[in-house]
Chain A
Amino acid sequence: MPEILNMLIASLIPLLFILTYAIVILWVEIKVASHVQDRLGYMYTGGFHGWAQPIADLVKLLTKEHITPVSADKILFTLAPIIVFASSYAAYAALPFTSTFIASNLNVGIFYIIAITSFVVIGILMAGWASNNKYSLFGAMRSVAQIVSYEIPTALSILTVIIVTGTLNLQEICEMQKGGIFNWIIFKYPPFMFITFLIYFTASLAEVNRTPFDIPEAESELVAGYHTEYTGMKFAMFYLAEYANMFLVSGISAILFFGGWNSPFGEFLSGPVWGVFWFVSKGLFFVFLQIMLRWTLPRLRVDQLMYVSWKVLTPISFVNIMIVGLWAILK
């Protein structure tokens, strides 16, 4: 019995984290967007710079009517957002928040994350198909093509890191980077790990459908892509999954390249509690970078997106993996 209770608590913590994080990051996204554009953004709700607006939005979404289009496939239509959210939530299980907390300390942690996040594709395709809307279908098709092709550079760049670490266990990868900023993997084999990071970051942007790779939901072409027909809570699930995914890929970059929960100052400010702080702030930094990119860049076209994946990222990561591998053998 206590074991089940333990598991429940361990699974609830990431969920609580996602919910609070989503509310914070929604606010940050809007505020960053408005200030980049020389606007004020929302200022009223809750007092200071409208901090309560995401909560109000959430309440609004929860209380909205569920509309299922008449000609939609009802089962798939309902199931799609659940699958999309579940797959990104399940990936949080292998994410080490600190040296003492990881929901499930898998020895194939990173492999598990790559595998489970691929489920998003199924959810999105279901959403696009079940909506029975041409724009949704276009969005879903684009999204599937995009996520499947960008999984290759992602996996290859992760593989490069695995060559360095020799383990798939994320907790162990974090342990290895203990002892200050210069033990982080990003500074190993200069500059190849930095290139690996760039490849990973670019590919992860595409994996989570963020600008400049947001073509599945390109609002000026496809209205809203695969979630055009969704309202209320189902739409909120898609939204939540998107933001959860954003932190997930950022957290993985933090773990694989920037020491995870390790303090950049060696032993100073380290420990389980500080670990959470460092991990979350590193993750949030990359989320912030994603947000900044979104409000800076236009989006690519679907064939250019494929070009970036197959003709730029994939060959470079192959070359990169060869060099790092050779270097690791020779050392």
Chain B
Amino acid sequence: MKQYFKNIFIALWTILVGLKLTFKHLFVRAVTIQYPDVKLKLPERARNRLYVNIDDCIGCKQCEMACPVDCITIETVKALPNEDLGVTSTGNKKRLWVTKFDIDISKCCYCGLCVYPCPTECIYMTDVYEFSEYKRHNLIYHFSNFTPEEAEMKKKQVEQFELEQKMKKVVKPSEPTTVSNPGESEMKS
């Protein structure tokens, strides 16, 4: 009997304690923000959308190897001996044309593993996190300066060059073909 009344009393008391707390919290400042209007500043290490500074890329494919979900696809074409690709901002000499540098951001798991092996620090994660798209293929980012046609042309040139090199071994060397740089047109993904 005593336990019975004690139980009722405890029940009422704990309910009152709870009510007091919830009532107090009615007047506590909300911790949430109105997201699209107010945005929190992301920390400097925030890992969000990948970005590639293609001018610095030397086409070493280290990031492609590091990616655990294979979301990076890189194709490179060897530069011809007469072509000078310049150096990257870190001073590495570029020897390959990066004809294709695609990142399928819908596959990306934002682990950041591709960032560390890059010798020229040209692939990095930015703090952009609003990049939803209506079409899935829009999520494949093309970072290369080459259009597919130009890449095709480049490949043919190299094949031709290699053919000529082979020929050279057989016949006397002829005039080397001059190639204009197709990577001049600025293309942003």
State whether A312 touches B8 (Cβ < 8 A): yes
Cβ–Cβ < 8 Å partners of B15 in chain A: 293, 296-297
In the complex, which of the residues A35, A43, A296 contacts B19, with contact meaning CB atoms closer than 8 Å? A296
* In the assembled complex, B138 has its CB within 8 A of some CB on chain A: no
The residue of chain B having its C-beta at the shortest distance from the C-beta of A198 within the complex is: B12
Known pairs A296-B18, A297-B15; A35 contacts B26 (CB<8 A)? yes
* In the assembled complex, A100 has its CB within 8 A of some CB on chain B: no
* In the assembled complex, A40 has its CB within 8 A of some CB on chain B: yes
State whether B18 touches A40 (Cβ < 8 A): no
Q: Cα distance A156–B33 when bound, in Å?
A: 49
- CB B40 to nearest CB in A, in angstroms, measures 14
* In the assembled complex, B163 has its CB within 8 A of some CB on chain A: no
Q: A38-B29, A39-B32, A40-B32 are in contact. List 18 more A-B contacts (CB 8 A).
A: A32-B26, A35-B25, A35-B28, A36-B26, A38-B25, A38-B28, A39-B30, A39-B31, A40-B30, A40-B34, A292-B19, A292-B22, A293-B19, A296-B18, A296-B21, A296-B22, A297-B15, A312-B8
- CB B39 to nearest CB in A, in angstroms, measures 15
What 1/0 flags go to A19-61 for Cβ under 8 Å of B? 0000000000000101111111001000000000000000000
* In the assembled complex, B134 has its CB within 8 A of some CB on chain A: no
Q: Cα distance A38–B25 when bound, in Å?
A: 7
State whether B34 touches A295 (Cβ < 8 A): no
Q: Cα distance A38–B22 when bound, in Å?
A: 10
Number of inter-chain CB pairs below 8 Å: 39
State whether A36 touches B30 (Cβ < 8 A): no
Among A36, A37, A40, A296, find the residue whose CB has the most chain B CB atoms closer than 10 A: A296
In the complex, which of the residues A32, A39, A297, A312 contacts B18, with contact meaning CB atoms closer than 8 Å? A297
Cβ–Cβ < 8 Å partners of A312 in chain B: 8
Cβ–Cβ < 8 Å partners of A38 in chain B: 25, 28-32
- Interface residue tally on A, bucketed by range: 10 to 19
The residue of chain A having its C-beta at the shortest distance from the C-beta of B19 within the complex is: A296
The 26 listed contacts between A and B (C-beta, < 8 Å) are A32-B26, A34-B30, A35-B25, A35-B26, A35-B28, A35-B30, A36-B25, A38-B25, A38-B31, A38-B32, A39-B30, A39-B31, A39-B32, A40-B30, A40-B33, A40-B34, A292-B19, A292-B22, A292-B23, A295-B22, A296-B15, A296-B18, A296-B19, A296-B21, A296-B22, A297-B15
- CB A294 to nearest CB in B, in angstroms, measures 10
Cβ–Cβ < 8 Å partners of A35 in chain B: 25-28, 30
Q: Cα distance A297–B21 when bound, in Å?
A: 11
**Nearest 4 CB-CB pairings of A with B:** A296-B18, A40-B30, A296-B22, A36-B22
Cβ–Cβ < 8 Å partners of A36 in chain B: 22, 25-26
Q: Cα distance A8–B43 when bound, in Å?
A: 64
The residue of chain B having its C-beta at the shortest distance from the C-beta of A212 within the complex is: B15
State whether B25 touches A37 (Cβ < 8 A): yes
Cβ–Cβ < 8 Å partners of B30 in chain A: 34-35, 38-40
Q: Cα distance A329–B106 when bound, in Å?
A: 80
Known pairs A38-B28, A312-B8; A43 contacts B34 (CB<8 A)? yes
Q: Cα distance A285–B14 when bound, in Å?
A: 21
Cβ–Cβ < 8 Å partners of B23 in chain A: 292
Q: Cα distance A40–B31 when bound, in Å?
A: 8
- CB B14 to nearest CB in A, in angstroms, measures 9
- Which residues of chain B in 127-173 are interfacial with respect to chain A, using CB atoms and an 8 Å cutoff? none
Cβ–Cβ < 8 Å partners of A296 in chain B: 15, 18-19, 21-22
Among B26, B29, B31, find the residue whose CB has the most chain A CB atoms closer than 10 A: B26
The residue of chain A having its C-beta at the shortest distance from the C-beta of B8 within the complex is: A312
- CB B2 to nearest CB in A, in angstroms, measures 15
